[in-house]
Amino acid sequence: MNIILAEATEVVDRQLTLTDHRAEHIVKVLRAAIGDRLRVGVINGLRGYGSISALQKKYPFSVSLALELSEPPAELPPLDLILALPRPIMLKRVLSQVTALGVGTIHLINAKRVEKSFWEAGLLQPQEYRLHLQHGLEQAVDTRLPEVRLHPKFKPFIEDFCPSLVGDYRYLLLADPAGEHRLVDAVADKSGRILLAVGPEGGWVEYEVQKFREQGFLCCSIGERILKVDTAIIALHASITALRECGNRGNHR
């Protein structure tokens, strides 16, 4: 936990009092003392510091912080994600990892090789998946919460919703180990927003690939090896970030 996150409703007159797992973390993990300054942020709001004004080191733990919040949230990440719904245990990891790496919106969609039971998981309730998004923010020291949108039917998503979505992006990328484009070639110009689509464990079926192509997506690969979804997303995100950073340095020479 590299930043203590709070809801706006928890802050009263620039004071924040914690009595839950955050207070326990400050006491037992950070081993903080009165007067210490900690990184603090309001979810979807400002970041800054909190000075500990009161501390209860024994159960029930309690920490009071005087807040100084003046930093805006990090800029909106340039990448949004379309993800074929993975199994819940993997989705937990993916949500926290991509939030830490930086993503604006996560579209969870259906696909031929997505098990129907996945859509019944309690994790898809906002109060459940929000916890994992917050873990990613705590890791990355950010406050901007990604938006999560659920699309339980593939055809309405790709034919009805997607046409209104793709115009917001400069690059539309469909990840596939058999893709005819290398990622480094597909993202030749390093500016503009990117929409990245990543398939299920068994991969996209040909019908799905064709439907994405009809919407203007380029079928891209980062190599021949077949990766698990959570590994593939990290590799793709890291590759895209590296390409953009190299391009930006080149533009400033």
Do 100 and 48 sit in the same domain of this protein? no
Find the range with the poorest average confidence among 142-146, 191-195, 207-211. Answer: 191-195
pLDDT level of residue 189 (50, 70, 90 thresholds): low
Same domain, residue pair 155 and 40? no
pLDDT of amino acid 248: 53
Band of residue 178 on the pLDDT scale cut at 50, 70, 90: confident
63 - beta bridge partners? 18, 55
* Residue 41 pLDDT greater than 60, yes or no: yes
Let me know whether 98 and 177 are in one domain.
Answer: yes
Query: 128 with 59: CB under 8 angstroms?
Result: no
Which of the two residues, 221 and 58, has the higher pLDDT score? 58
Question: Same domain, yes or no, for 207 and 127?
Answer: yes
CA pseudo-torsion sign 75, 76, 78, 83: positive
Q: What is the CATH number of the domain that holds 12?
A: 2.40.240.20
| 59, 161: one domain | no
Same domain, 245 and 154: yes
State how many domains the chain has.
2
Stretch 174-187: mean pLDDT? 83
Domain end (from 24, 54, 71): 71
101 lies in the same domain as 223: yes
Over residues 132-152, the pLDDT tens digits come to 999 999 999 999 999 999 999
Among 29, 45, 71, residue at a domain's last position: 71
Domain boundary among 71, 105, 125: 71
Where are the strands (E) in the chain, listed by range? 4-6, 11-12, 15-18, 37-42, 47-56, 62-71, 79-84, 105-109, 147-151, 171-175, 181-182, 194-198, 218-221
Inter-residue long-range contacts of 246-249, CB under 8 Å, 24+ positions, other chains counted: 246/190, 247/189, 247/190, 247/191, 248/190
pLDDT surpassing 80 at residue 24:
yes
pLDDT at 191: 80
Q: What is the pLDDT of residues 79-121, one digit of tens each?
A: 999 999 999 999 999 999 999 999 999 999 999 999 999 999 9
- Which pairs from 202-209 meet CB under 8 Å and 24+ separation? 202/113, 203/113, 203/176, 203/177, 204/84, 204/111, 204/112, 204/113, 204/174, 204/176, 205/111, 205/112, 205/113, 207/112, 208/111, 208/112, 208/154, 208/158, 209/174, 209/176
Structural domain range at position 176: 79-251
Alpha carbon distance 95, 190 (integer Å): 25
CATH code at position 111: 3.40.1280.10
pLDDT of residue 192: 87
Does 220 share its domain with 177?
Answer: yes
Higher pLDDT, 233 or 226: 233
